[in-house]
Amino acid sequence: MTPSGNAESQPPASRLIAQALRSAIESGELRPGDKVPSERVLAEQYGAARNTAREAIRLLAEQGLVVAEHGRGVFVREPRRLFRFGSDRYSLKNRESGLTPFRLEAKRQGKTARIDVPSIAREVPPSDIAERLGVSPEERSVVHRENHYFADDEPVQIVSTYLKWAEAEGTLLMEARSGPNGIYGRLEELGHAMTTIRDEIIARMPTPHEAAVLGLSAGVPVLEVLHTSFDQEGAAFEVSRYVHRSDLTGLKYELAVQ
């Protein structure tokens, strides 16, 4: 690799190698599943040190473009995404399946769903949850259910669901297995028919806990969906914070224009 122009204005050699490989991936010269040249080959090709080539590969991994497989090498990541069908996932017609929204979405996309429930606890809610749910931010006014979701055994999202303690106490909402149609079936039995939803979506970097649970590489952001369910009276009865892996998740909404 021969620098041109003012050497001081040139980006580091590792970034130039990473840019070249990224261009090869984006153009289709390197396809999903293809093996990336080894550090030795890249070092020889670009006239750089092996640690410079290693840094270039690390930069691509941070961008979610490649994945290292122990003992095999580095490969272009397959663009696999599990879509969250925002406008359809709570539809009443889906209740006939008896499946929760995530299990139904996974099934439709040919994936095997698994949901782990590491904790269900009565807690003092975060301020944004208390505001949306209309409960005290200073008392243990909510039940917090933390669920970890997997598609084909790969972690894809963390969901923190908050319910009013006064309603959840002593019900199946306090159990990991809440019955047919999940918590929404039990909430409907309590008189809350979901009629409106509100999703607030942001992109951000993960917390250390989120990165560990989701198995995220450094530099990979998450998509956060703060979901609020409203019943037939217009009252908020459930708030969930969805934290999705951005490299494995897409959001799809189809809404009527009023």
CATH number for the domain harbouring residue 49 = 1.10.10.10
Res 138 pLDDT > 80: yes
For 65, the 3-state DSSP assignment is coil
* Cα gap 76→63, rounded to integer Å: 11
Selection from 184, 161, 154 nearest residue 249 by Cα: 154
Same domain, 13 and 35: yes
User: At which of 48, 76, 104 does a domain end?
Assistant: 76
Selection from 63, 56, 50, 61 nearest residue 12 by Cα: 56
pTM beyond 0.85, yes or no? no
Of 255 and 21, more confident: 21
Same domain, 42 and 135: no
Same domain, 195 and 172: yes
pLDDT in tens, 49-61: 999 999 999 888 8
- What domain range is 196 assigned to? 82-252
Q: Does residue 2 belong to any structural domain of this protein?
A: no
Same domain, 177 and 237: yes
For 51, the 3-state DSSP assignment is helix
Same domain, 126 and 165: yes
Helix and strand totals (H; E) in the chain: 8, 10
Same domain, 199 and 118: yes
DSSP 134-146: T--SSS--EEEEE
Which CATH number belongs to the domain containing residue 157 in this structure?
Answer: 3.40.1410.10
Same domain, 72 and 87: no
* Cβ atoms of 56 and 18 closer than 8 Å: yes
Q: How many domains does the chain have?
A: 2
**What is the percent of the chain where pLDDT is above 70?**
88
Q: Is the dihedral of CA 100, 90, 110, 25 positive or negative?
A: negative
Same domain, 26 and 87: no
Same domain, 130 and 231: yes
Res 84 pLDDT > 50: yes
Same domain, 38 and 62: yes
- Looking only at the bridges linking them, the beta strands covering 82-85 and 249-252 are parallel
User: At which of 76, 91, 107 does a domain end?
Assistant: 76
* Cα gap 199→240, rounded to integer Å: 10
pLDDT at residue 1, rounded to an integer: 47
* Cα gap 80→153, rounded to integer Å: 14
User: At which of 33, 51, 76 does a domain end?
Assistant: 76
In terms of average pLDDT, the best of 27-36, 58-67, 234-243 is 234-243
Same domain, 188 and 90: yes
Task: Name the pLDDT band for 154 (thresholds 50, 70, 90).
Answer: confident
